[in-house]
Structure 1
Amino acid sequence: MKVLIIPYNYPTINNSQKAIFIADQVSMLREQGNDVTVLGAIPKTASEAIKSRCFRFGRLSEEKDVVSFPAIRGMDRLNNTLQLAIGKKLFQQFLLHNPKPNLVHVHNASCGALALWIKKNYDIPFVVTEHSSLKWKKLCEKSLILYKESKANIAVSNAFGMHLSLKYKQIFHYVPNVVDINFFKKADSGRITGACKTFVSIGNLTVNKNHQLAIRSVKSLLEKGYEVKLFIGGAGPEEQQLKKLIKSLNLQKDVFLLGQLSRLQIKDLLNRSDYFLLPSKKETFGVVLIEAMAAGLPVLALKNGGSESIVTPEVGLLAENEQFFIEKISLLLKMDFQKNAIFEYVYSKFSQCAVMKTLLKIYKI
């Protein structure tokens, strides 16, 4: 099958973690013998350029038909117009040297205008996978048009799919993000052992990622006499607030902000840790949960819309609210989780083999 992927974002040379789950899905489709092209224009604001320390635009990915263009925050109409115009040009150039794809797969309604144009002008059907946590909020009329025109709609968690189905009155199929399970799998030899237990939390330093809850939870363990450390991987606008919190709680020797990490650094951090914390307020999925469990880590997650489709009693704990999260972290330490069983669970649910079967059924609708 010839598949055209239109991503809302994509890993670049400067940020290999950006929307990595889309790249993993592309790899999965190609490994199964499909002819896959990734094509689209990715908006890049000044703040994103500063954050990535890359002020170049154009082809910054291994995929030659993915380009970035300068975007202005708050000027959505202009940005969307540019994105569509560049996308049209890229697709027309693609057709000069390639046959038409059988199917277009859009990742996020935000970049769906190109799929609508392709369907109208070239009669190529499309499917949509919605990842955006913004869709938990108010209804978007443009998204509704896209969902109605699509061959099938996909959500990356059960709760998110039910929410979208009710809000948009369209069927949404649950297909989880694929994760490179074997990349994060760890042999027994590298794990840190001993009295001191290591917790890890990974995610952008934003209000939604809620790292302050992880910090306060570890503080509660220390007050109970446990010997623990917390390592937080990620960068973002809440960095200074988190540093102030760490200092105010006198945790400078117990909690460490590591900054932005590469995929290899994340793998190494997970492999040297004992438990994973996901205190996010809202998630549509939770790729880091899968990565952590692939490394054999038991997890504690706040119920946030995404984690409920992932965490079971065999692999970790779910907390209804922040108070329960703080209470359950000590329970996590007392429970006996089996690393191999955790890995087998994520392999059966979120590996390339497992997700591919589900996705192909959607493609054939």
Structure 2
Amino acid sequence: MNKKKHILVLPVNYPNPANTMAGTFFRSQVNALRESGHTVGVISFCLLRISELKHISYIDQLETNNEIQLCFPAVPKLQPLNHKIRTLLTTRLIKQYIKACGKPDVIHVHVYSAAGAAIWAKEKYGIPYIITEHYSHFANNQITPYFHQVALRAFKNASTCLAVSRSLGNTLEHLFDIKFTCVPNIVDKEFTYQPCVSSQYGKFILNVASLTKIKNHKRLINAFEQVTRQNDSVNLVIVGDGPLKNELQCLAKKLTLENRIFFLGKKDKTEIAKLMNQAQLFCLSSDYETFGVVLIEALSCGLPVVAPNVGGIPEIINSDELGILCNLSESSMAESIKICLKRSINKKNLMLLASSKYSHSTISKALTETYSNIE
């Protein structure tokens, strides 16, 4: 039987006053570990943009929840300096945490850039750490020389290196010559199949993603326009916000689809889960995804998926029952949507398949085994 551990989690981001949806899957994993009997603490250091400076805060919940959070302003365009500030301040929070909660058995770092303080704690207190890597920029070759060295040091000093997909793990093994084990992200309990009444949006395709370049909503909207040429009864609902919102709304208007494409902005998990239970199909149009938490959330609600065959996506959509993988062209996405909309779907079966791989119990069991193997 695996011994229960005292685990300190250092996530690269976490729900905070500036963004309550930031890093929610880190919190989900923390909750799963606590449910399985581990003592879990969190030190979250959240860098704020200039527009978020009103949310500068220090939240000490050590007595009630073993958690400390510091929301701190980032220095624009000086990422190495931000990283050094983050590491220094997090080491101070670790000292405070140990004084209040005791020395953890292991530190679990999420994303290499949060590992500096864990390396310090390993050297000062002898606390081993593991690291889970999520960052897509390794595959896109967008890591600067400075952060390449930061990542190399983070991975080399870790007792175990994990990646959220085998695809990302292979990339990291090639770049750093270090073994990575795949432990996927977790799906939260809000996302489950619930028979739902009809929606105010009629029959619709759902997308949930930030409105940024890499998510490529332009591809999705143009593909949807091709679908509408043969289907006048389906709409498109897009959840998320970002810098491309106005541009995408203008594209919808240009295609005369402003009455069939609904931009809902940010929604919380409960609202997203409700939409997933109402939708006919989930469609992701990203150029790249290391994993795609939103895909397992959709599947857990019994919603089939159309998504590009890139990154870690084919590890999730690995059978026709779960959905269709398309290439990166608008026409391929449109044809895949048309096919998927005509299929008969067993929603309960999709939910069970997703739960067996990404549930709280499944992922916490995999992590417990990882912690137990640390010497």
- TM-score, normalization by structure 1: 0.93
Specify the code of the residue in structure 2 equivalent to 1:45: R
- The 1:169/1:112 distance shift into structure 2, 3 A limit, reads same
Give the drift of 1:289. 0.8
Paired letter, 2:337: I
The reply to whether residue 141 of structure 1 matches residue 144 of structure 2 is no
Equivalent in the alignment of 2:338: 330
What CA distance in whole angstroms lies between the structure 2 residues aligned with 1:142 and 1:88? 16
Q: 1:160–1:284: 8 Å Cα contact kept in structure 2?
A: yes
1:16 aligns with 2:20: yes
In structure 1, C-alpha distance between the alignment counterparts of 2:369 and 2:99, rounded to whole Å: 30
Match in the other structure for 1:347:
355
Counterpart Cα distance in 2 of 1:82 and 1:197: 49
Q: For residues 95 and 193 of structure 1, do their structure 2 counterparts lie closer, same or farther at Cα, with a shift above 3 Å needed?
A: closer
Question: What is the CA RMSD across the aligned residues, in angstroms?
Answer: 1.9
How far apart are the structure 2 equivalents of 1:67 and 1:119?
22
Structure 1 residues 186 and 243, CA, compared in 2 at 3 Å: closer, same or farther?
A: same
Q: Which residue of 1 aligns with 2:264?
A: 258
Say which of 264, 271, 282 aligns to 1:276: 282
Q: Which residue of 2 aligns with 1:175?
A: 183
Query: What is the CA deviation profile of residues 176-208 of structure 1, one whole-angstrom value per residue up to 9, with x for unaligned ones?
Result: 01111x3121322435599x6310100100010
Q: CA deviation at 1:111?
A: 1.1
> 1:38 is matched with which residue?
42
The runs of 5 or more residues in structure 1 that have no matched partner are: none
Q: Which moved more, 1:344-353 or 1:318-327?
A: 318-327
Aligned residue among 182, 193, 197 for 1:190: 197
2:223 aligned with 1:217:
yes
1:166 is displaced (CA, Å) by: 1.3
Consecutive unaligned residues in structure 2, runs of 5 or more = none
2:69 and 2:84 mapped to 1: Cα distance? 17
Are 1:299 and 2:305 counterparts?
yes
How far apart, CA to CA, are the structure 1 residues paired with 2:210 and 2:154? 29
Change (3 A) 1:245 1:100: same
Instruction: Summarize the alignment of residues 219-238 of structure 1 with structure 2, pairs less than 5 Å apart.
Output: 219-238=225-244
SS in 2 for 1:204: coil
- Distance in 2, matches of 1:227 and 1:118, equals 58
The 1:204/1:189 distance shift into structure 2, 3 A limit, reads closer
Aligned to 2:205: 199
Are the equivalent residues in 1 in contact too, given 2:46–2:70 (CA < 8 A)? yes
Indicate whether 1:316 and 2:317 are aligned. no
2:87 to 77, 84, 87: 84
| 1:105 match: secondary structure | strand
Contact 1:296-1:340 within 8 A present in 2 as well: yes
The answer to whether the 8 Å contact 2:308/2:326 transfers is yes
User: Is the 1:212–1:242 Cα contact (8 Å) retained in structure 2?
Assistant: yes
Q: Which moved more, 1:111-120 or 1:308-317?
A: 308-317
> 1:86 and 1:282 mapped to 2: Cα distance?
33
Shift of 1:14: 4.8
How many equivalent pairs are there? 359
Question: Which secondary structure does the structure 1 equivalent of 2:21 belong to?
Answer: coil
Q: Are the counterparts in 2 of residues 218 and 230 from structure 1 also a CA contact under 8 Å?
A: yes
What does the per-residue CA deviation read over 1:2-46, in whole Å, with 9 as the maximum and x for residues that have no partner? 001001000124533211110000000000110100014221121
CA distance in 1, matches of 2:73, 2:278: 39
Separation in 1, partners of 2:57, 2:287 = 33
Does the Cα contact within 8 Å between 1:12 and 1:60 map onto a contact in 2? Answer: no
Q: Deviations over 1:225-244 (max 9, x none)?
A: 34210000001011111011
1:222 CA drift (Å): 0.9
Match of 2:165 among 134, 157, 163: 157
Tell me if structure 1 keeps the 8 A contact 2:66–2:101. no
SS at match of 1:205: coil
Native 8 Å contact 2:196 2:277 kept in 1:
no
Identity %: 31
Write out per-residue CA displacement over residues 53-101 of structure 1, whole angstroms, 9 at most, x where no aligned residue. Answer: x533322997641211111221123212221121111111112222211
Distance 1:291 1:5 in 2: 23
Structure 1 residue aligned with 2:8: 4
Q: Which moved more, 1:185-194 or 1:92-101?
A: 185-194
Aligned to 1:241: 247
Contact between 1:218 and 1:228, CA under 8 Å: does it hold in 2? no
CA distance in 1, matches of 2:254, 2:81: 44
CA contact (8 A) 2:75 2:82 kept: yes
